[in-house]
Structure formats: structure tokens, C-alpha cells
Structure 1
Amino acid sequence: MSVTRRSLLAAGTIAFSGALGALFSGGSPASARAAARAGGGYGPLLPDPRGLLDLPAGFTYRVLSRAGEPLRSGEGAVPANCDGMAAFDAGGGRVRLVRNHENRATAALRVPAVPGLTYDPGALGGCTALELAADGRVTGERVALAGTAVNCAGGRTPWNTWLSCEETEDRAGSAGYTRDHGYVFEVDPARPHRSGAVPLTAMGRFAHEAVAVDPYRGVVYETEDAFVRPFGLFYRFLPERPLGGAGSLRAGGVLEALRVPGLADLAVVDEPGAQFPVEWVPVPDPSAAGTPIRHQDFGRGGITHAQKLEGCYWGGHGVHFVSSYARRGEGAPADHHGQVWFYDPRRARLRLDVLFGPAADVQLPGDSPDNICLAPDGGLMVCEDGGGAQYVFGVTAGGEVYPVARNADDIGGPGAPEWGEFAGVTFSPDGRTMYVNAYTPGTTFAVTGPWRR
């Protein structure tokens, strides 16, 4: 992102073209352009005297947890690399947060290996769970899953558990691992030992990023984060026991991958509002026993790939997912700085809703979108994972993009400033608090203020 455009964003709101109304309401691009503009944004970001998080006037933050500090459970230190996250209603105004830790084999602060919650003692990733009182105070913090690897994002289920995704395909015997990796794990934030550390193998073994569950049909959608060719796929998992509650996904099901006839790679689409009929093709070997799934033979017609498939969530009557970027220099057929796609299962159609800048337009929102979620006003929150300063952006359904937060914690050296990406943006069940992680140094924030409904 250019300095000029960052300056524009820091100063206030800007407008951009695209199908934002369609993104949130499922409507058409024409209805999106005709939507009344709500005047999004909360004003310019103000420098934080503490040098952690710049926010608009009227907003405040609380640091809930920081890597290296003691876990309140006494199980060890808060692990590093805070990534995907979700908030759950614990009753009486209380909230439970489940937070991923994207730890590789070289992580300095592992997720402590807790008996009954550890899949592979040689792996350093997993999840932690925070308990928050009605007034926002942290009253508990403990390990919820351990012994997993590169836990990037995930997604919540309609029965209030968290699906944590391993973004790796490493096998036992590599990187110090004693078991194969590349799976999804279910985490119960209220009772972690009930869910244990059981891989949901039928959902496939690949570099998982995020998932979204259809609350009406129980279908689970999954993104694959692959940045080298062949690029990742967009999947759906048809459970044997759809909407069966905690533990039901262990019963198995059928894994399929998306095919857009005649479209080998999503990167070539550059017109927001463009729509395509889709097909779903059974994955030949979900276990990837001999060949990674994206390398497998999907028969006549092939399969549709996309570079860096990341954020994924359910909204309205369909599922939204992100391609963080595409680069010709890395083998993509076209360049872009981020796409948001919408799949409508009722019509079996795929639509490009947002094309991010600056390649498309200097006034489009930030480059390399990653984790995304819906905001209380029905708009979109986007965690940026690009170069330079790092932002959480808001995007209104009326078509405005505005800065919500800027990471002010400079982790670079003298004369070479650097800021960690944001991840795991999510809102409390009542919509009054935004929770977000600074990946490095691992920090979890609670942001309160005059959020619009």
C-alpha cells in the first residue's frame, strides 16, 4: 500500500467501487450502488501514548493478554503468534474467547502440553481460552488445545465450539513431529477436555486456513492457504451428521472441492459482481496419503485454484471467503491485492464482491486482507497482513472504507520500523466490544467505544 493511500485512510473515510451491499445482504451490485450511504467511519486515528494501538476518539482498549506473561491457570506462559479467534456467550454478560497460536517448530513460546489436550508432544501450536467477566476483566486463561501445528484461523460452529485449523502438511518424522499434521480440531471453549485433541480427518489433510459452517444445512466450507503452485482449493465438507452438535464431525462425511467450469484460477476475475455457476467434485483422497490434495487428479475439467485463500465466514444466506493476493511472479495468471468472494449455496453460484487495491484502484481498501468478520453495523472488518503499517479496516455496506485501528507497537530495528499483522478480529455477542490480536508481539486487545448497530 502506498504512503499516500495510507495517509488518506488515516485521515478519515474514503469511498470505493464494488458490490459491498451484495456482500452483506446477498443483493445485486445494482442494489449495492443504490444503497443509502450511512456515513461510515469514526474519524481519524489518534496516536496512542502507550505506543500500542491507535484508535479513533471515543474508543479505548484494554490489553487482555500478552505473549510471555503467565497464564492464569499456572500451566505456563502465554504462547506466541496469536492468530484466529472467536468470542462466545458465557451467560450473564460473560464472554469466552478462544485464540489460536500459529506456532511452528521454531516457536519460542509454545502452547504448554497439557494431559488430555495434547495431540502431538512434538508440536508447539494450539489454542488458549480466556474467560472475561461482564465488566471485561480477565478472570481465567488456560490451554484449550495443544500439540498441534501452525494453528492459523478456523471458525465457530452453530453449537458454540471452535474449529481450529492447522496450516501445514508436515508429516510425522519432520520438524520434530511424532504424528501427521494438516487437520482441523474441534475445541469446546467451556469444557476443553470434553473435546480433547482429536483430528477431524474426514475434513481433509491440507494447509487449512479458515472454515465457516452453514447454520441451516450443516455444510462446512474450508479454505486452503497455498502460496506456491498449484495453489489452494475451496472445499465443502458434507457431514454424516449435519448440525449434530459437539463431536458430531468425528462421524465423518464427504469432502468436495469447488470447480468453476472454464475457470482454472480465480485470480483472472477482476470485475466485482461477476458471477459463475459452480460444480462440486469429490476429493479423490482426502487423507492425502500419497499426494497433496491440490496435486490430485480431479478428472476431466480439472479443478479451480486460487492463491492464498484465507478468511472465511458465513453471513446472510451464503459463505464469504478471501483470496489474500495473487502474484504473477509466483505463478498466478494475474495480479491482485485481495478478493472477497461470495458463494450462494441455494443458487450454486459464485460471485466476486470486492477487489482490493492498489492494483485495481488507489482508493480501494488495504492490501493482503486476511481474517475478516461482520461488524455490528452489518459491515465488514478486515485484518490487514501486508507491508508497512498494519490496520484493521472497516467497510460499510454503503461502500466506504475507514480505519478502525493501527498497530503502533514498532517491533523493527533503528531506522527500520516494522509492525505485526492483525488477526482474529471478532465481536462480543452483544456487539459492544471488538477483540483483535496483534500477531507479533502476541497481544490480545479488547476495544470498546460507540460501535454502530
Structure 2
Amino acid sequence: MSATEKSPTPGTSPASEKPPAADASRRQVLARTGALGAGIAFTGALSEVFAGTALAGPRGGGGRHRAGYGPLVPDPEGLLDLPRGFRYRVLSREGEPLRSGEGPVPGNHDGMTALRGRRGRVHLVRNHENRQSARYGVPTVKGLTYDPAAKGGCTSLTLDGRGNVLEERVGIAGTAVNCAGGPTPWGTWLTCEENEDKAGTAGYTKDHGFIFEVDPADPHRTGAVPLTAMGRFQHEAIAVDPKSGIVYETEDAFAFPFGLFYRFLPEKPCGGVNSLRAGGALEAMRVPGVPDLSAVHEAGRSFGGVEWVPVPDPLAEQTPVRLQDFGKKGVTHAQKLEGCYWGDNAVYFVSSYARTKEGSLKDHFGQVWKYEPNRRRLTLVVVFGPDTDHRLPGEYPDNICLAPSGGLMVCEDGDGAQHVFGLSHRGQVYPMARNRQNIGTPEAPEWGEFAGVTFSPDESTMYVNCYTPGTTFAVTGPWDD
């Protein structure tokens, strides 16, 4: 398998223009939600997200500042559209042989992180959100397989200082529906199962719904051991407070009542590789007076006195955690809790969307929340919702990461054309990449979502996955501009 590098040739498409069929699809979605003609944008106190910066006003203070890196240029190879001056390299594609010889590259590329290696190397750890129907499951490897009947897991790529792929191998196998996760301060990856099937269901031979630790430098060092004290539920992502060692966890539950936001207090905080096996206490968030986060729509609104309630049965032996008895006051739920990251002494997490017809209190197109542990304060930072341009992001924010130029990179997960969007510290929205791999038909095109956006430790390269067909890209260019 050889990496390929391409630079899109100049074209005439405007920066945020989508193929006609994608625009039609977006309009259909907006029509169904009552927002046709209003479109999708965002509001919020982005200065909360980008510490030390100040907003220049909505959309960059009346257009005095250029948003992003300019128009997206159509890619003649039909893979990835980027702004002029940026180049991509395909590092890996599903179905091709792993360099380790362990089998084919698995599909359904999802959450990912880039970790610093020795001698200038970079370790990419990549989730595979495989269910039992997956065409390319993660190959089972002795010592790295939890449940031989499950097809999910992680693979890891090792890159040299020039971005060339040196190794590609299985990091963990035999897990189920590995969606997202998060890096640890000691240089490993916590991969999360977005699944809570028990042994004997769906063909599985072991219980699922756990977090596993993966050491990309030496996967056999961490093996395939579930971190049971961190709970058994439909995990999405995690973020670690590097000072206290507390691990924050999101739950992407599919049915009402929806998921919870958790914190795990480890017995050995920041103890290094395999230290989380020592156990700890799992707690769920309670925001007094707020039973469901979808009820809050005003960006900048804060809630003090956040409480944490012990989870009665973290292993969910009889009852799913979110349905357990947390007392008369209960806990706070939210639909589609997904991306999660740590920054500026706070943990940020995403609610991708909420729909009243599915049980939420109010509809929204996405929220970004900030929790400050020292103040026990929760703030709604960014709200995605109706505005003036249907081509802006909002269907629906999923994986997010901090960008080297300031701001966020957001993976879009909705209908129509799929983008990686940037949200600048000035409050501007700009397209960074567009997926051109049509998995539908010429008459009814479809594009797979982006996932796992992350940057190299030196911030020179953006790595991102296309979920279907599973493709991992490395994007380089004038990030300092």
C-alpha cells in the first residue's frame, strides 16, 4: 500500500458552493425542520472557547477579515477538495493490506488522535466503528483481541518526520462499534465502544460497552482489557484533566431518555499506562433545574453549582446506567452527546442535535458546552441553528478539535455534501475540506461523513478520516496564514 499525494487544480467553484444535488438535499432537510430559507449557522461566545481572544463581531466584524484559507478547489482525483496551497496524502484506505500483514485495512474510520512518538515520529490511532455487518472487520490478533466474535477495534499508523507511513497494524480487536475516545496525558488512546450489547446478543460472546486503552507504540503492552470501572454504556468520547487525572465521558444513547455526561475519578490519577485498571468512581452530572440540556438555547448562559451523582451500578448488570435510580433530583440528560476535549482548564463537549419528536425538550442543530471544574460551572458556548445561509455548517457537529491558527475544526455529519468546517476565533465559519467520494449514484449522490479530525504534535499536518469509504488523509499547507 503506497501513500499518494495530490494537490487540487484551480477551479471556479465559490468557497462554500456545494454540488447542486447536495444543495437540494440540504434544502430538503431544512424544509423538513421548518428552516428552509433560514439556513444553518451558529451563535455564541466563542471567546469562551478560544482563551485570550476577542470576537470581532458576527462573521468577523462585517466581513473585514477573510474567513479561512479561501475557496475550495475541486480535486481532479475526486477525493478531497481543499483551499489553494493545501495538499493531501492518502495514508490508508479500507480493503488494502495492512503493512503488518495482519489482514485488510478495516472500514468505518471514525475517531482518531495523533500522538508524539520517538525520534520525530507520529502515532495515529484510528477507531473502526464496525458492527457485525461490517465488510472489513478489524483482524483478530493474539493478545490484542477481546471478543473474537466482534469486528470493531483500532488500528495504528506510525509516520516518520516527513509524514511517510512506516508501520500500520492492529491496536486492539474484538471490540464493538468503536466510535470516538480521547488521548491520555501519558501518550495512549482510550477507545470507546458505542454499544451496550451483552454476551449472547448480536452474536457477541462477551459483554460490550466499555473503554479500552491502546498504546500505539506497543499495543501488546495494553492488550485488550476492558476498563470496567469507567462504566458500561454507549460511550462516545473522553477527555482527561491533565492536573487532576479525572476522565470526562460522553454517552451517545439512541433512545429516550438520552445519554449522560460522566466523570471518572481514578484510584491512580495520571498514573501512566494501564493505571486506569486500578479502578475508581463513576459519577453522572446533575445541573440543578435542568433535566435536559436541549432546554437551553441561549449561548453564553451559565449554570453554577453543578453536582455529581454516584452511578449505582457502573456495569449496568440489570439496568442501563442512564435508566438507573439517581434519587428524586435525578440527573441531566442530553441527546447525541459526542465530541469531547480538554482545554483552558475546562472540558468541552458536543451535543450534535436534539429533536422533540424523539423525546428532547427542544430542537437544536448542535451545541458546544464548557464545564469548568474549579467553578463547578457549565456554560453553553456555541449554538448551531437557523440563520441566513443554508450552506453553512449545522447538520450536525460531531468530532471537533482545536486548530493551530486558533479556533475549531468541526466534522460535519448530516445529509448532503460533507465538510470539515473551521470556526475562527473571530466568529467566522469557513470550509476547510469537502469529501468528493460519491457512495451513492450519479442521480442520487451521497457522501460519507468526516470523522477523527486531529493535528500532528507540531501542528503542521491535519489528519482526518472519511468514514465511508474508509480513508485516512494527511493535509498539509499554509496553516500559519
Q: TM-score, normalised by structure 1?
A: 0.94
- Quote the residue 1:43 is aligned against: 70
Counterparts of 1:45-444 in structure 2, within 5 Å, are 45-277=72-304, 278-358=306-386, 365-444=393-472
Contact 2:41–2:387 (8 Å) recurs in 1: no
Distance 1:63 1:361, change over 3 A: closer
2:395 partner SS: coil
Task: Please tell me the residue identity of whatever aligns with 2:160.
Answer: A
Q: CA deviation at 1:262?
A: 0.8
Counterparts of 1:6-21 in structure 2, within 5 Å, are 9-10=16-17, 17-21=43-47
Q: Number of aligned pairs? A: 443
User: How high is the sequence identity, in percent, across the aligned residues?
Assistant: 69
Distance 1:347 1:339, change over 3 A: same
- Quote the residue 2:21 is aligned against: none
Structure 1: state its 5+ residue gaps.
1-5
Task: Please tell me the residue identity of whatever aligns with 1:323.
Answer: S
Q: CA deviation at 1:405?
A: 0.2
Q: CA deviation at 1:7?
A: 7.2
1:356 partner SS: strand
Counterparts of 1:449 and 1:409 in 2: how far apart (Å)?
Answer: 22
Q: CA deviation at 1:414?
A: 3.5
- After alignment, is 18-27 or 282-291 more displaced? 18-27
Counterparts of 1:365 and 1:233 in 2: how far apart (Å)?
Answer: 25
Contact 1:24–1:315 (8 Å) recurs in 2: no
Counterparts of 1:205 and 1:15 in 2: how far apart (Å)?
Answer: 35
Q: CA deviation at 1:394?
A: 0.6
Contact 1:239–1:251 (8 Å) recurs in 2: yes
- After alignment, is 90-99 or 75-84 more displaced? 90-99
Counterparts of 1:26 and 1:223 in 2: how far apart (Å)?
Answer: 27
Task: Please tell me the residue identity of whatever aligns with 2:332.
Answer: T
1:329 partner SS: helix
- Quote the residue 2:36 is aligned against: none
Q: CA deviation at 1:366?
A: 2.5
Distance 1:192 1:231, change over 3 A: same
Counterparts of 1:199 and 1:93 in 2: how far apart (Å)?
Answer: 31
Contact 2:110–2:128 (8 Å) recurs in 1: yes
Counterparts of 2:121 and 2:430 in 1: how far apart (Å)?
Answer: 30
Contact 2:15–2:70 (8 Å) recurs in 1: no
Task: Please tell me the residue identity of whatever aligns with 1:437.
Answer: N
Counterparts of 1:361 and 1:323 in 2: how far apart (Å)?
Answer: 22
Counterparts of 1:140 and 1:89 in 2: how far apart (Å)?
Answer: 15
Q: CA deviation at 1:364?
A: 6.0
The Cα offsets for residues 192-215 of structure 1, whole Å up to 9 and x where unpaired, read as 000000000000000000000001
Contact 2:339–2:398 (8 Å) recurs in 1: yes
Counterparts of 1:304 and 1:327 in 2: how far apart (Å)?
Answer: 16
- Quote the residue 2:51 is aligned against: 25
Counterparts of 2:154 and 2:423 in 1: how far apart (Å)?
Answer: 29
1:17 partner SS: strand
Counterparts of 2:201 and 2:52 in 1: how far apart (Å)?
Answer: 44
- Quote the residue 1:451 is aligned against: 479
Counterparts of 2:96 and 2:268 in 1: how far apart (Å)?
Answer: 41
Contact 2:393–2:412 (8 Å) recurs in 1: no
1:9 partner SS: coil
Q: CA deviation at 1:17?
A: 3.4
- After alignment, is 39-48 or 443-452 more displaced? 39-48
Q: CA deviation at 1:25?
A: 1.2
Contact 1:356–1:364 (8 Å) recurs in 2: no
Counterparts of 2:466 and 2:225 in 1: how far apart (Å)?
Answer: 28
Counterparts of 1:427 and 1:333 in 2: how far apart (Å)?
Answer: 36
- Quote the residue 1:3 is aligned against: none
The Cα offsets for residues 2-49 of structure 1, whole Å up to 9 and x where unpaired, read as xxxx977349xx99531111112188xxx5467987644000111100
Counterparts of 1:308 and 1:380 in 2: how far apart (Å)?
Answer: 19
Q: TM-score, normalised by structure 2?
A: 0.89
Structure 2: state its 5+ residue gaps.
1-12, 19-39
Counterparts of 2:389 and 2:441 in 1: how far apart (Å)?
Answer: 32
Counterparts of 2:41 and 2:339 in 1: how far apart (Å)?
Answer: 23
Distance 1:361 1:302, change over 3 A: farther
Counterparts of 1:90 and 1:119 in 2: how far apart (Å)?
Answer: 26
Q: CA deviation at 1:362?
A: 5.6
1:287 partner SS: coil
Contact 1:73–1:141 (8 Å) recurs in 2: yes
Contact 1:337–1:359 (8 Å) recurs in 2: no
